[in-house]
């Protein structure tokens, strides 16, 4: 099942120059995936309240151009044929005035929220999504993000969580980590690059819950901007790579 989702951007989705902001691109794609789940009869909120939830583990984004204010946007999404019993891949395309401007890929696991353990996805649940035998990238493997040596980090930003950062699964919403990463970028890079990044890679390690303080450390590695998000216990929670 391939699902198309027409999105009418809000003023808050744009930077001052009328360019669609990076977090808004992820939001559009995420909402298209939620629409697919609804059409498949897999109620995300109902599933979470029963103690079982889909957890996003990875994002991969390739941006050829950024839409502008007034452009017509359409997101397209589908689930790939399941090749691993504990992981599912979802593909995305974003079209601007009929031309593809973004390719995206995500990896998901079904998790028992009480134990934190991944669950095998049943054939019945897989069939609801009617997976497609196609992929937006030739290789559906998520490239690894190198963890910089501690001496490579050139700046550090501490962030205290707000109540609004917490989602229905009682942890920081996955898109919010990108906001944290953008906050941690050096001012000059943020000003110059925030609507110019072409590649985004996010790897979620461990969820952050309400009441925690996180530490975002920044390093530039081989021309790529890497932000590692740590908990107050110094455990790595999320890695984000922008280039």
The per-residue pLDDT for range 57-112, each reduced to its tens digit, is 999 999 999 999 999 999 999 999 988 778 899 999 999 999 999 999 999 988 88
| Res. 44: pLDDT tops 80 | no
Q: Return the exposure string of 10-31: e unless at least 16 CB atoms fall within 10 Å of the residue's CB, then b.
A: eeebbeeeebbbbbbbbbbbbe
Instruction: Give the tens place of pLDDT for each residue, 110-157.
Output: 888 777 788 888 888 888 889 999 999 987 788 889 889 888 999 999
**Residue corresponding to tokens 């989702």:** 5
Instruction: Give the tens place of pLDDT for each residue, 162-178.
Output: 888 888 777 889 899 99
- In the prediction, which pLDDT does 45 show? 66
pLDDT band for 17, please (50, 70, 90 cuts). very high
Instruction: Give the tens place of pLDDT for each residue, 186-221.
Output: 999 998 888 889 999 999 998 888 888 899 999 999
Separation of alpha carbons 225 and 235, rounded Å = 20
Would you state the structure tokens that stand for residue 139, as one six-digit string? 């290789």
- In the prediction, which pLDDT does 2 show? 94
Residues 6+ apart with CB under 8 A from 63: 25, 101, 102, 197, 198, 199, 200
Indicate the pTM of the whole model.
0.91
Q: What is the DSSP annotation of 168-184?
A: TTSSB-TTHHHHHHHHH
| Res. 50: pLDDT tops 80 | no
| Res. 47: pLDDT tops 60 | no
**CA-CA-CA-CA torsion sign (186, 191, 197, 203):** positive
């Amino acid at each position: 099942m391939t699902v198309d989702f027409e999105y009418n951007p809000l003023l808050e989705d744009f930077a001052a120059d009328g360019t669609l902001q990076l977090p808004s691109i992820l939001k559009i794609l995420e909402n298209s995936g939620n629409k697919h789940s609804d059409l498949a009869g897999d109620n995300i909120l109902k599933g979470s309240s029963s103690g079982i939830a889909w957890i996003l583990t990875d994002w991969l984004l390739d941006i050829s151009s950024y839409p502008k204010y007034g452009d017509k946007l359409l997101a397209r999404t589908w689930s790939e044929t399941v090749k691993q019993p504990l992981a599912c891949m979802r593909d995305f395309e974003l079209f601007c005035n009929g031309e593809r401007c973004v390719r995206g890929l995500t990896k998901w696991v079904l998790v028992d929220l009480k134990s934190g353990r991944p669950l095998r996805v049943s054939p019945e649940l897989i069939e609801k999504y009617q997976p497609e035998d196609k992929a937006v990238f030739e290789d559906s493997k998520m490239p690894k993000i190198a963890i910089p040596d501690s001496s490579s980090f050139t700046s550090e930003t501490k962030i205290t969580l707000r109540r609004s950062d917490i989602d229905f699964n009682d942890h920081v919403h996955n898109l919010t980590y990108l906001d944290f990463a953008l906050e941690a970028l050096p001012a000059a890079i943020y000003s110059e690059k925030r609507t110019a990044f072409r590649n985004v890679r996010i790897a979620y390690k461990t969820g952050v819950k309400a009441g925690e303080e996180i530490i975002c450390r920044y390093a530039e590695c081989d021309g790529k901007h890497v932000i590692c998000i740590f908990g107050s216990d110094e455990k790595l929670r999320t890695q984000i790579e922008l280039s």
